[in-house]
Amino acid sequence: MRRALALLLVAFGLAWAAGCADRDVVLELERPPLVLAGDGFEFNGEALVFSERACLEDASGALEAERIVYDRVRGVLEAERVRGTVQGWRVAAERLVGDAERLVFERATFSRGDATLTAARATVEGGTVWLEAVAAATSRYRFRAERGRIEDDVFVAEGVWSTPCACGQAIELLAQQATFRFADGRLLLDRSTFRLYGASLARPEELRVDLNEPLDLQFPLRFSYGNGWNFGVEGLPLPAKGEAFGRWRTRLTLMAENVGGALVVDKTEAVRLAVDYRGPDGTVRFGLRPVRTWDGAFWRERVEPDVRLADGPLDFRIGWSRGLNRSVASFTLARTLDLGGLRLRPFARLAHEERTGLAAGAAGTITAFERRVGSFSTRLELPFAAAVYPDAAPYAWGGGRLELAYGDGLKLRLEAYDAYGLPRYGYEARGARQRVAFEAGRALRVAVGFRRELRYDLAAGAVSRDDRVYSARLGYGGAAASWRLEQRRDPGGALQRADERWTLAAARAGSELELAWWRGWDGGALDYSELRLGYRPAAPDCAGGWALAPSLGWDLLQGRVSRAGLELTLNDCCFTWTLSYQAVYVPQLPGEAAQQNVRFGVRLR
Amino acid sequence: MRRALSLATLLLVLTAAQFAALSIEPYGDSVYDLATGVTTLPQGGVIRDNAHDLSIDATYIEYVEGDYISAREAKMATEKVRFAAERMRYLPEREEVRLEGGVRFDSDRIEGLTAERGWIDLKAGVAVVEGSVRAVTPELTAARLVADYRAGEVLLVAPYTYQDAQLGVTLRGQNPEKPLYLRFDTETGEVRASSQLPPEAAERLLPYAKKALPNEPLE
């Protein structure tokens, strides 16, 4: 939009590109100061007529027309089917009429990239451009205005209608007057009305639209059924005066979770209430989640806090730890310093988490080596972290990450880190780990990898797990075959659990088909084996378009359907609606429960 | 021999020379060279061509009867147009006139036209001028101008300009292949112009727009 309006200024200032100098006959007019030209010329005593590559030019540029007539008696200029290209902008008008005082474009269109602006009539007079019946379209908005004027770098429109919908008018922004400043790309709507399906939802005195910023319109209503009903609003904007449309800083969440449904042991019902504010410098979140859990005989009730205050280097949080089953809190002071080859983030914390106490230290990365010779590039980084505690031994962690690449067809990544002492809080905790990853090929792609990481139990103050992941992938075009094995071992190296995934996937023109074989072992014994088939068609891209994405799981151990799902996506002019059903009939993965889930969603197209 | 020449000169001075359709009235002496057949009027004179309704008034004239008439500082006039040039050569048999040096052309429609060279086809009634072609009324310049002075038609060969100061317009043409065709209304004198010639006019006038003028210098 900003560019479209900027173009209007340019076009109406007659700053067209490409001159008329190469035409066979050229007429120079003094009032208005114009050049008319064409390969064909006719003068019948009253009118001068240019045809065959007819052209209209001022000191700075030119527009082509099918025919240009200059009535020398009346001093009036008329051009038919005017069009030209200016630095990538396409300009077209059905008719152009001009005299010594003004130029009038009729049914004019200006377009460039994804922006198009049309006006039934555009009059250029004394440095001001008057527009009638203006319409504009960008990738995010469509506009109409009864009339408008461009003066210097300000565009003022009256009787404004706009919508972010691709077609139709489910969402409408109306305004008696709108002011657009080319300098900052902001549109200010005065005495505006926000309408949804024709119903006025708000009448802000002043509304700002940031035309250059992406529009963040998440539909806030939630509705689904799983272990109970889930419904409410999530991220409902609370507009404040002077805020840009779709760029609201304050949002409200009020959700009922798992209400109703079958009463089973450990069933949890909750209400989530939160107010979020995201400012340019910091964020504030204040949330509470009253929860009750059925233990078979009674409801156990608690209130989970969710509070966050972040402003520059300060970060204060109060939250709920499911593992500890109690509230946790922290106050952190940290700042990132970029010192060229060294990125350093010193911190000081007061925490009430797995433990309660103070910690101070720093984390960061040293870029030790970085070089590119022809297609060969190499990079070595040394990440580190260290913390000291007033009541415990210090903790340090560090290692190296080496990347070697040849063009974009060969890549090798090696990582190794070790830790000394034990971390007391999750903030600074990083486990000893090793990783090898290798990728090769462009059309035919091969990737193999191995990763090992030691994980801490912060409450117990010890290493609790040794996680290992092996992976391989072979891809060609949109087809790929992959294998992945995840192992969880105890600190002594004994295997506790393993999960394996074999996957065949094909993607074409935005649609995907995947066949997977998932199986897992618990302590060496096979505890599930499942075949999964899923198809996701390309997202519909037109109004009325729809897509159906089915998925199916088969329990190979029991020989029956383990899961099924179906998701319907439907476009209307403005919104994309989704309705999905996902059911687990035979639980497979650890922690999975037999349940059915219906989810409803809507978002701006 | 010399005496014979003087005698002949005297005889010629006493009787005005007569071409078939030309009458020559010397302002002074008329000298006939028996060896070459060239008659010279050193003080000039007036030549009238009744067949072409043409009169030539010059300060110096020489001619060979039935062949050519050359003149200096000549002024020519027909019913429709007036020409002047420093040097002129008239070939009655071929019915053409060549003009060179300070060529000036005036008609009811075009006044104060000057050029370096000119060529007139008396039979067709077409005059061609070229070389720094410039007119006062209308204000125009052209690489070449072709005028059918009887029909009131003009071709301007590019590069040309045509100015109307009163209207504040200047017309320029730059394609030598496409001359501008002007037609003056015989009654009102109003001009019509077009980059497209009517087929009949194209056939009649375009050859003059393209024809190379004789470039041997006139004596």
Residue A44 at interface with chain B, using a CB cutoff of 8 Å: yes
pLDDT digits (tens, 9 = 90+) for A242-271: 777 667 889 999 999 999 888 888 889 999
At residue A544 the predicted structure's pLDDT band, cuts being 50, 70 and 90, is: confident
Distance from CA of A8 to the nearest CA of B (A): 28
Q: Are residues A170 and A264 in the same domain?
A: no
pLDDT beyond 50 at A2:
no
Please tell me the predicted confidence (pLDDT) of residue A17: 39
> Do residues A359 and A304 share a domain?
no
Q: At A12, is the pLDDT very low, low, confident or very high (cuts 50, 70, 90)?
A: very low
From CA A131, how far away is CA A149, in angstroms rounded?
Answer: 6
pLDDT digits (tens, 9 = 90+) for A585-605: 999 998 888 888 898 888 877
Q: Assess whether A112 and A181 both reside in one domain.
A: no
pLDDT higher than threshold 80 for residue A241: no
pLDDT-based confidence at A7, cuts 50/70/90? very low
What is the pLDDT, as a whole number, of residue A6?
Answer: 36
pLDDT in tens, B133-175: 999 988 999 999 998 888 889 999 989 998 877 777 888 898 8
Q: What is the dihedral of CA A437, A440, A442, A447, to 10 degrees?
A: -50
Task: Grade residue A152 by pLDDT with cuts at 50, 70 and 90.
Answer: low
Tens digit of each residue's pLDDT (9 = 90 or more) over A280-298: 888 999 999 999 999 989 9
Range with lowest mean pLDDT among A444-453, A467-476, A568-577: A568-577
In a domain, A508, yes or no: no
8 Å CB contact of A24 and B174: yes
- Does residue A502 fall inside a structural domain? no
Residue A564, in any domain of the structure: no
How remote is the C-alpha of B184 from its chain's centroid? Answer: 20
Give the pLDDT mean for A339-344. Answer: 91
Asked whether residue A11 carries a pLDDT value surpassing 60, the answer given is no
Mean pLDDT of A189-197: 83
Q: What is the pLDDT of residue A15?
A: 41
Express as a percent the part of chain A with pLDDT over 70.
91
Q: Do residues A446 and A356 share a domain?
A: yes
> With an 8 Å Cβ cutoff, is B166 touching chain A?
no
Q: Which chain B residues touch A29 with a CB distance below 8 Å? A: 168-169
Specify the pLDDT at position A182.
Answer: 62
Residue A14 lies in a domain: yes
Per-residue pLDDT for A213 more than 50? Answer: yes
Which residue reads 């659990």 in tokens? A497
What pLDDT score was predicted for residue A195? 87
The band of B20, judged by pLDDT with boundaries at 50, 70 and 90, is low
The model's pLDDT over B33-58, given as tens digits with 9 standing for 90+, comes to 888 889 999 999 998 888 778 888 99
The verdict on residue A581 lying in a domain is no
Nearest to B170 among A28, A31, A44 (CB): A28
Could B171 and A45 be called an inter-chain contact, meaning their C-beta atoms sit closer than 8 Å? Answer: no
Same domain for A170 and A192, yes or no, is: yes
Q: Which residue of A has its CA nearest to B189?
A: A45
pLDDT of res. A460: 87
Residue A550 placed within a domain: no
Grade residue A397 by pLDDT with cuts at 50, 70 and 90: very high
Q: Are residues A341 and A461 in the same domain?
A: yes
A426, A448, A466 - which closes a domain: A466
Instruction: Find the residue in B nearest to A31 (Cα).
Output: B168
Band of the pLDDT at B4, cuts 50, 70, 90? Answer: very low
Question: What is the signed CA dihedral for B27, B31, B32, B34, rounded to 10 degrees?
Answer: 180
Least confident of A414-418, B37-41, B212-216: B212-216
Answer whether residue B13 shows pLDDT above 50.
Answer: no
The per-residue pLDDT for B168 is 76
Last residue of a domain, one of A449, A466, A483: A466
Q: Is A73 on the interface with B (CB under 8 A)?
A: no
Is B178 in contact with A72 (Cβ distance < 8 A)? no
Domains, chain B, in order of start with CATH, read 1-77 (no CATH), 95-213 (2.60.450)
Chain B residue numbers with beta carbons less than 8 Å from the beta carbon of A42 are 193-196
pLDDT band at A536 (very low <50, low <70, confident <90, very high): very high
Side-chain half-sphere exposure of A599, counting CA atoms within 13 A: 14
Residue A43, CB-side half-sphere exposure with 13 Å CA sphere: 23
What is chain B's Cα-based Rg?
A: 19
Pair A165, A178 in one domain: yes
Does the pLDDT value for residue A459 go beyond 80?
yes
For A200, the domain range is 140-215
- pLDDT, residue A210, reads 67
Contact assessment for residue B62 and residue B17, using Cβ atoms and an 8 Å cutoff: no
- pLDDT, position A447: 97
User: What residues in B contact A44, CB-CB < 8 Å?
Assistant: 192
For the CA atoms of A383, A387, A392, A395, what is the dihedral angle to 10 degrees?
10
Chain A and chain B share a number of CB contacts under 8 A equal to 58
Contact at CB, B195 and A39, closer than 8 angstroms: yes
pLDDT of residue A211: 64
Find the mean pLDDT for residues A153-177.
83
- The mean per-residue pLDDT over the stretch A468-485 comes to 96
Residue A585, in any domain of the structure: no
The closest of A235, A316, A231, A320 to A277, measured between CA atoms, is: A235
Strand partners, A149: A130, A156
pLDDT at A404 over 60: yes
Residues A342 and A433 in one domain: yes
Residue A153: pLDDT over 70 = no
Average pLDDT over residues A451-472: 93
What average pLDDT does chain A have?
A: 86
pLDDT digits (tens, 9 = 90+) for A112-131: 665 677 889 888 776 677 88
Give me the pLDDT at residue A56, please: 85
pLDDT value, residue A50: 92
Q: What 3 state SS string does A313-330 have?
A: CEEEEEEEECCCCEEEEE
Sign of torsion, CA A421 A424 A427 A430? positive
A353 and A424 fall within a common domain: yes
Does the pLDDT value for residue B3 go beyond 50? Answer: no
Contact status of B190 with chain A (Cβ, < 8 Å): yes
Residue A525 in domain: no
Q: Look at residues B153, B151, B174 and name the one whose alpha carbon lies nearest to residue B162.
A: B174
pLDDT of residue A498: 95
pTM: 0.60
Extended beta strands in chain B, E state:
22-26, 31-32, 38-41, 45-49, 54-58, 60-64, 68-77, 81-91, 96-107, 113-121, 126-135, 139-148, 153-157, 160-164, 169-173, 180-184, 191-194
Instruction: For residue range B66-107, list pLDDT tens digits in order.
Output: 788 999 999 988 877 889 999 999 888 888 899 999 899 888
What is the predicted pLDDT for the residue at A16? Answer: 43
- Residue that is written with structure tokens 């050029």 in the block: B115
B171/A26 CB distance under 8 A: yes
pLDDT tens digits along A345-367: 999 999 999 999 999 999 999 99
pLDDT given for residue A84 in this prediction: 74
Is the pLDDT assigned to residue A104 strictly greater than 90? no
Rg (CA), chain A: 33
Average pLDDT over residues A177-182: 78
Are A181 and A88 part of one and the same domain?
Answer: no
**Which of A116, A138, A160 corresponds to the end of one domain?**
A138
* Inter-chain touch A43–B190, beta carbons under 8 Å: no
Residue A581 has pLDDT above 50, yes or no: yes
Q: Mean of the pLDDT values across residues B5-11? A: 42
| Nearest residue to A25 via CA among B106, B200, B161 | B161
Candidates A26, A40, A72; nearest CB to B172: A26
Give the contacts of A460 (CB within 8 A, at least 6 positions apart).
none
As a whole number of angstroms, the distance between CA B71 and CA B86 comes to: 8
What's the confidence (pLDDT) of residue A583?
A: 93
User: Does residue A144 sit in the same domain as residue A129?
Assistant: no
Please answer whether residues A194 and A201 qualify as being in contact, where contact means their C-beta atoms are separated by less than 8 angstroms: yes
ipTM, two decimals = 0.78
**Residue A256's pLDDT is what?**
95
How much is the mean pLDDT over chain B? Answer: 83
Q: Is residue A13 very low, low, confident or very high in pLDDT (cuts 50, 70, 90)?
A: very low
CB-based burial label for B174 (10 Å; 0-12, 13-18, 19+):
middle
State the Cα–Cα distance between residues A337 and A350, nearest whole angstrom: 21
A362 shares its domain with A426: yes
- Which pLDDT value is given to residue B18? 44
pLDDT of residue A406: 94
Q: How many domains does chain A have?
A: 4
Share of chain A above pLDDT 90, in %: 48
Residue A219 pLDDT exceeds 80: no
Of A30, A42, A43, Cβ closest to residue B168:
A30
